Structure 1
Amino acid sequence: MPDSPSDTSGAPSDAELRARALLAEFPVVDGHNDLPWALRQQVGYDLDARDIATDQSAHLHTDLPRLRAGGVGAQYWSVYVRTDLAGDAAVRATLEQIDCVQRLLERYPADLAPATGAADLERARREGRVASLMGAEGGHSINSSLAVLRTFHALGVRYMTLTHNDNVPWADSATDVPGVGGLSPFGQEVVREMNRLGMLVDLSHVAATTMRDALDTSTAPVIFSHSSSRAVCDHPRNIPDDVLERLPANGGVAMVTFVPKFVLQAAVDWTAAADENLRERGFHHLDTGTEAMAAHAAFEERYPRPRATVSTVADHLDHMREVAGIDHLGIGGDYDGTAFTPDGLSDVSCYPRLIAELLTRGWSPADLAKLTWSNSVRVLGDAESVASGASA
């Protein structure tokens, strides 16, 4: 059976053709892609060894031909580093990640456009290039230093996820034991400084208490760069309804993610067992290298993996639209940051399949244009406006 809304010959359905036409005008702003980390892990940033101008489907979820095929118009490249890199080592590794993105921009200027603001996104759309922004994933990257935060902003980083999978001294993570009960006073200072700079506060990965504290503190819209609905799939990485309900007053955007263990309830327990299998074999549970993936495959052969689908992700968007409203939704696939993807959403070429599914569910072209493009451009512009007011 084809894994997209197509007929039995594999030809695109009418819905997918309409989705592609819509994306030609209102392309996807994707909130989170871990290509830089994959390039670090796989080839030590040797961009000749992973020339993304050509098909890299044997190694990556992302390359330029598939970004084009998927209708991607803007991408936040994650400059993520793992939390076992701490202190100055985390700062250095984040700088290396930023350097990787800058080298990609220099290498592929006809395809990738540097972007730090909403006007840059619109300019790139007119030029037919993929606007390229950066997001730092995890407050450990700044080593509790506002000076480092300001330096990252000066280098082009336009959001920071307050935590990754582990707490930082000033903020609690969704997947760690509570430490400070949300945001500490210094954590609130971090949020205020991000507002002043025009850097988006990203609340993916953080505890619900941290989400609520950040919403209480921030004077600018927040984002969830890659999170789904906790009411649909009860995983702590997802967004509770009471937080989604606050987005209209804040002006923020929740960008649905595709990671199966965050969108499909049946995948939660399976993934915990699969991660433990990796750790028992000496791998980090987020490792997507060749040997780790072979260990995953052997585990999956013994214990078949529950399969998320395009419809699974659409279920999250239906619920999130009902709770937060259409003006507060976006997309953050987390490609190249996950070992598994839903059936039908295997790589960055697949966004038209999700848009086609939503069309069949009655989503209007106007609503879909907000989901893919307008909401994310607006929220970045609003953060800039708050920063301009703060500096006036």
Structure 2
Amino acid sequence: MMLHAQTAGGRTIPAALAMILTLALAGGTRAEEPSTASAPPPVSERALAVHAAGMLFDGHNDFPWLMRAENDLGMTKFDFAKQVDVGQTDIPRLRKGGLKAQFWSVYIPSEHPNPTKTVVEQMDFVNRLVEKHPDDLQLALTADDVEAAVKAGKIASLMGIEGGVAIDDSFAELRAFYRLGARYMTLTHNKTLAWADAATGERKHGGLSPFGERIVAEMNRLGMLVDISHVSAETMADVLRVAQAPVIASHSSAFALCPVPRNVPDEILTGLKANGGVVMVNFYSAFLVPDSNKNARAAKDPIRKAHPDKADRDKALADWYRNEPGAIRGTVATVVDHIDHIVKVAGVDHVGIGSDFDGIDSWPVGLDDVSDYPRITEELLRRGYSETDVHKILGGNALRALRDAEAVARRLQETTPPQVDDIRHVKKPEDE
């Protein structure tokens, strides 16, 4: 989830996102790049065939949080089985986009007063969503489950916790979330925790604290993927130093192409290659195009000051993104530039897709919603990627990382007992 990485006032995505899409739908077309951008050409038959033959596995979609904001996690206001006028995700568009597996983000803001309860409620929402649409969605807890769902013609639905604040510094809560179905956890969100530094937070620990290292070890023992999106570069390095299983960045891009704290530096990409991990490229414009990040930040502060009413502010932000030439969004080619860079540094086995749909307020031209994934396949083929490598990028690498983490967990569980204390019971140096 991206927009809140650039905002200090909290979560403003859903209304702004809804306004963008509503304005586009009212005009009979999708929102387009201002002035000079033209609509991308239709996807070729070859690209559609290659795309359909692969397993598109997206590492991050914030639809549960959007539904919390727009519908209080209810099931009546919007019919997920039909194309809706809010957000970027529904079953018809997922099917059109060829999605085969999805990590649904169960997000929690760092400052939320009831983080554990809020995450449980969103996990319940995902389960209810799957139960309501059994012909299209199937819950998956393992790599084998993912393959079984895809074989049955369903969209494999997994859950990833976005924000380690959810576990309340407790190994017991971490294990409870695993039992409830969480198969990755983003160690931090935007604020530093008692055991890990965030990319946009205070530098307290120089990376992971000793307790944070134990969190990583317990996640490896459980088979829960460690997600280094949102953490500082130092935390990324510490995770790679101590992790015994593949690490993912569920929704991050390449720092070398867009130097913002949320992206992954080359030295970490090199470490991920040795670790067996995967960087899943994010579609947020501000993490793809340097000028987009700079211009958006310069524009948003005056807009917020000029529009104290939230509804007015969201409309003004939506209008800016649609009409302002400085709102540089990037293109499908920009996304594939980031994929290219990660392939160059880490190798084709270590990159994937982590769109962050329904968690961003600006996205590349041609990637307006989940129906547009085949455009990535088209661009990869145009650049000369083999069909085998395209399938790795679309989701084969993510599935392999999950399977490898499960194998590590089986080995560790034979020799390693669960961690049993939490940070409140850990003796601090000043206590000795």
- How high is the TM-score relative to the length of structure 1? 0.92
1:18-57 maps to which residues of 2 (within 5 A)?
18-56=46-84
Q: State the one-letter code of the partner of 2:341.
A: H
Which residue is equivalent to 1:381?
Answer: 403
Structure 1 residue 341 corresponds to structure 2 residue 341: no
Q: State the one-letter code of the partner of 1:22.
A: V
1:145 to 1:274, Cα distance in 2 relative to 1, 3 A: farther
**What count of residue pairs does the alignment treat as equivalent?**
376
Cα distance, 1:271 vs structure 2: 2.3
Cα distance, 1:291 vs structure 2: 5.3
Q: State the one-letter code of the partner of 1:354.
A: I
Which residue is equivalent to 2:105?
Answer: 78
Is the contact made by 2:102 and 2:155 (CA closer than 8 Å) also made in structure 1?
yes
Q: Distance in 2 between matches of 1:19 and 1:293?
A: 37
Local SS of the residue matching 1:151: helix
Q: State the one-letter code of the partner of 2:192.
A: N
Q: State the one-letter code of the partner of 2:297.
A: A
Which residue is equivalent to 1:181?
Answer: 206
Cα distance, 1:25 vs structure 2: 1.6
Q: State the one-letter code of the partner of 2:314.
A: M
Post-superposition CA distance 1:174-211 (Å, at most 9, x none)? 11221111000110010001001000000001100000
Cα distance, 1:19 vs structure 2: 2.0
Post-superposition CA distance 1:293-334 (Å, at most 9, x none)? 313034445674112111111111111100000011110000
Which residue is equivalent to 2:135?
Answer: 110
Moved over 6 A (4+): none
**One of 318, 341, 345 as aligned partner of 1:297:** 318
Which residue is equivalent to 2:152?
Answer: 127
Which residue is equivalent to 1:256?
Answer: 281
Q: Distance in 2 between matches of 1:362 and 1:380?
A: 27
Cα distance, 1:118 vs structure 2: 0.4
Cα distance, 1:126 vs structure 2: 0.7
- How high is the TM-score relative to the length of structure 2? 0.84
Q: State the one-letter code of the partner of 2:214.
A: E
Is the contact made by 1:277 and 1:299 (CA closer than 8 Å) also made in structure 2?
no
1:240-251 maps to which residues of 2 (within 5 A)?
240-251=265-276
Q: State the one-letter code of the partner of 2:376.
A: L
Structure 1 residue 150 corresponds to structure 2 residue 179: no
Gaps of 5+ in 1: 7-11, 284-288
Q: Distance in 2 between matches of 1:182 and 1:123?
A: 38
**One of 66, 89, 94 as aligned partner of 1:62:** 89
Is the contact made by 1:75 and 1:131 (CA closer than 8 Å) also made in structure 2?
yes
Is the contact made by 1:293 and 1:339 (CA closer than 8 Å) also made in structure 2?
no
Which residue is equivalent to 1:367?
Answer: 389
Q: Distance in 1 between matches of 2:119 and 2:228?
A: 19
Post-superposition CA distance 1:93-134 (Å, at most 9, x none)? 111111110110110011001001100111111111100000
Structure 1 residue 91 corresponds to structure 2 residue 116: yes
Is the contact made by 1:307 and 1:342 (CA closer than 8 Å) also made in structure 2?
yes
Local SS of the residue matching 1:245: helix
CA RMSD of aligned residues (A): 1.6
Local SS of the residue matching 2:169: coil
1:366 to 1:291, Cα distance in 2 relative to 1, 3 A: farther
Is the contact made by 2:377 and 2:390 (CA closer than 8 Å) also made in structure 1?
yes
Q: Distance in 2 between matches of 1:100 and 1:282?
A: 32
Which residue is equivalent to 1:9?
Answer: none
Q: State the one-letter code of the partner of 1:3.
A: A
Which residue is equivalent to 2:31?
Answer: none
Q: Distance in 1 between matches of 2:316 and 2:215?
A: 40
Which residue is equivalent to 2:11?
Answer: none
Cα distance, 1:373 vs structure 2: 2.2
Cα distance, 1:278 vs structure 2: 6.0
Bigger Cα displacement from structure 2, 32-41 vs 171-180: 171-180
Q: Distance in 1 between matches of 2:269 and 2:324?
A: 38
Q: Distance in 1 between matches of 2:188 and 2:39?
A: 34
Post-superposition CA distance 1:3-40 (Å, at most 9, x none)? 32x2xxxxx343xx222212222131000000000000
Q: Distance in 2 between matches of 1:154 and 1:277?
A: 45
Q: State the one-letter code of the partner of 2:344.
A: E
